[in-house]
Amino acid sequence: MLIGLVLAAMPLAIAVIDASVQMRQLANSSQQLVLRGVEATRSSQALLTGIASLERTARLFSVLNDPKLLDSYQQNDDRVSTTRRQLSGQLDGAQSGGALAELARLQKDVRANLLATPPASPAFEALLAQFGPMSDVAARLAEGGNRQLDQELAALKAKTDSARTRLFWQSALLIPLTLAVVLVVIFWIGRPLRAIDRAISELGRGTFSHAIEVSGPRDLERLGRQLEWLRQRLLELAEERNRFLRHMSHELKTPLANIREGTELLMDGAVGELQSGQREVTTILRDNGIRLQRLIENLLSFSAWQTQSLGLELSEFRARPLIKQVIENQQITLLSQRLRLDVKVEDLTLYADRGKLRLILENLLSNAIKYSPRGGTIYVQFERAGDRVVLDVADCGAGIPQEDRARIFDAFYTGKPAGGHVKGTGIGLSVVMEFVSVHGGQIEIVDGKYPGAHFRVHLPLRAQPVGITEQADAA
């Protein structure tokens, strides 16, 4: 994974480094050009100023004939020579070499003749006339320096344009290349990440039956192996839990049966007629024995349902006959409680786990019966909504208190009694939640339409969870 990230960043890193190098080179070249231009301009100006000072000193000497002026001339002449030598190092030798040599010659001749020529003689006037060519040569040197600076500026501009063009083409090539590398890395990393996400979702739903295999970068493969170890461990724990539940349930059934048999004998008068208080106590023992037996049977059923929920057995079947069968199985209880049914069912064809859907219906209907008042109405509605189906089961009881809704689907949570006839075991709704989830559906509590508890289940018309078993079953 780290290698992929490095590969994705490498083209841009190369482009940034190359651009930095080019910018540094251009900055250094421009800085050097500016310094040379400033120094050459300063030296050219100093040369013109020095020649003018030499001419002025020579003319004063021709008028005053003061020997001190000769000393001043020699000092100025030395400074001009120094400036000339500096300028020779600042200008291009091919362009300025001849002018500098000519200037040096003129400067030498004037200096030599100045000492040997009488100040008031015609020869001295001719000597003074040589300062004009010296100034002309100095002016040509200044112009040559300016031309050299312009040429270097043009070369720098061309170099800058070349660097700009190069950076443009680098960007035009490297940005698509970087995007391509990023897409490859995303695909390389994204596929195993999606596999890990699916594996975590399956583990979250309690599906432990399918091995987790992740291929890709070594880091993600190692994470996949850890998830596979976790899956195996969770599967072992689930099987161990179910074995424990089955064992304890069977161990408790025998002494419980003896207790129930003993209470029945007492109530039948096997050891003598019971007094009213004794019969009341015996009735309490019998009722609690029945309830305890029912709880143990529900534990066994819950253990079996947990095992079944590891996968789906999908088949195609009609929903109406299944719902009719579930209602018929509850007819005795409905009649005993004088409950009415308001049923609206569309004749739809589903592709789902028939057995689990039957348990969803049975548990929701049983829950509605438990918490419906005598002579009340239970509402069952099954209809299509797009590519999904909606199952509504509602009663006209006291409803579900707000404080119980957060845990109503937890296993063995019964909540506070809400006026029902039989206190539940807290297993039915947890099974409903589990079986709805494994189908890829949702269940919610709805308020407003009916006075009591109203459960709404959303299921796909065709279930497509990860890891299923298909059966050809037509109802």
Give the tens place of pLDDT for each residue, 372-388: 898 999 999 999 998 89
Listed range (49-53, 133-137, 175-179, 325-329) with the worst mean pLDDT = 175-179
Contact 427, 412 (CB under 8 A): yes
What is the CATH number for 410? 3.30.565.10
Identify the pLDDT of residue 419.
45
State the pLDDT confidence band at 361, using cuts at 50, 70 and 90. very high
Q: What is the DSSP letter of 209?
A: S
pTM, two decimals, is 0.46
| 274 and 325 assigned to the same domain | no
| 303 and 330 assigned to the same domain | no
Tokens of 154: 């043009």
96 burial (CB, 10 Å; 0-12 / 13-18 / 19+) is buried
- Average of per-residue pLDDT across 137-145: 75
| 332 and 405 assigned to the same domain | yes
CB atoms within 10 A of CB 177: 15
Task: In whole angstroms, give the CA distance from residue 31 to residue 24.
Answer: 10
Q: What angle do CA 38, 42, 46 make, to 5 degrees?
A: 170
Structural domain harbouring 282: 216-310
Specify if 208 maps to a domain. no
Whole-number average pLDDT of the chain: 77
Task: In whole angstroms, give the CA distance from residue 433 to residue 247.
Answer: 26
CB atoms within 10 A of CB 60: 15
What is the CATH number for 171? 1.20.120.1730
Specify if 97 maps to a domain. yes
Last residue of a domain, one of 290, 310, 330: 310
| 37 and 150 assigned to the same domain | yes
Specify if 203 maps to a domain. no
| 404 and 258 assigned to the same domain | no
Question: 3-state class of 352 per DSSP?
Answer: strand
Listed range (9-18, 164-173, 438-447) with the worst mean pLDDT = 9-18
| 413 and 356 assigned to the same domain | yes
